[in-house]
Chain A
Amino acid sequence: ETGVTQTPRHLVMGMTNKKSLKCEQHLGHNAMYWYKQSAKKPLELMFVYNFKEQTENNSVPSRFSPECPNSSHLFLHLHTLQPEDSALYLCASSQGQQGQETQYFGPGTRLLVL
């Protein structure tokens, strides 16, 4: 089974829609991350969860709402997004939150906001 899975792989939504991205890790890790990858820009860390507790919110607009019900699952709830939010959203997990821990990534959800 793939270590980190993400659904859906592709999503098109209007600015008034509400949708959710799902991430699941099968590696027994305790930390999970959401990243945003836009064209020509470095990966932007959005949120970090460690043992289900949010430990970092990197000044992300409130139209992005994360949820971590357990160490294996991470959601990103989307509402009233803007076209500039179109990007590849990547989920990652690591054993712990220490920086030297290797992060393992999912395949991403490619989001298009119309």
Chain B
Amino acid sequence: AQKVTQAQTEISVVEKEDVTLDCVYETRDTTYYLFWYKQPPSGELVFLIRRNSFDEQNEISGRYSWNFQKSTSSFNFTITASQVVDSAVYFCALTRGYQKVTFGTGTKLQVIP
């Protein structure tokens, strides 16, 4: 069975602060894929990143960065210099090939101006 845990239910930060959203996953497979999605109040899940289990290289995209560590089964997401537009619910997800995607319960991020 596979599982995704996002222990942080809600986080509030002041604008321009850095914030890290945690994601811990469980799987017995050696090949798997990890995702992060953003869900703004409008409801649509917006794809942010996909990572396969063989690529542990960290990735940076503008103010967003992701830290993938297989040793701790974590795929954490950091927003640098947060902005009000970053306020949303963020979901981490896991899948292994032909299996359905398992989503975490989400972390609600509120950025206060």
Residues of chain A at the chain B interface (Cβ within 8 Å): 9, 40-43, 45, 48, 56, 58, 88, 90, 92, 97-100, 102-108, 110
- Sampled A-B contacts (27; CB under 8 Å): A9-B43, A42-B102, A42-B103, A42-B105, A45-B100, A45-B101, A48-B100, A58-B100, A88-B43, A90-B45, A92-B45, A98-B98, A99-B33, A99-B95, A99-B98, A99-B99, A100-B52, A100-B95, A102-B50, A103-B101, A105-B44, A105-B45, A105-B46, A105-B47, A107-B43, A107-B44, A110-B43
Contact-size category for B: 20 to 34
B43 touches A102 (CB 8 A): no
Give 1 or 0 for each of B69-113: 1 = CB within 8 Å of chain A CB: 000000000000000000000010001111111111110000000
A5 to chain B, nearest CB (A): 10
The CA-CA distance from A19 to B97 in the complex, in Å, is: 34
The CA-CA distance from A40 to B10 in the complex, in Å, is: 11
Residues in chain B near residue A99, CB distance under 8 A: 33, 95-101
Complex partner residue of A102 from B42, B44, B47, B98, CB under 8 angstroms: B47
Residues in chain A near residue B101, CB distance under 8 A: 45, 99, 103
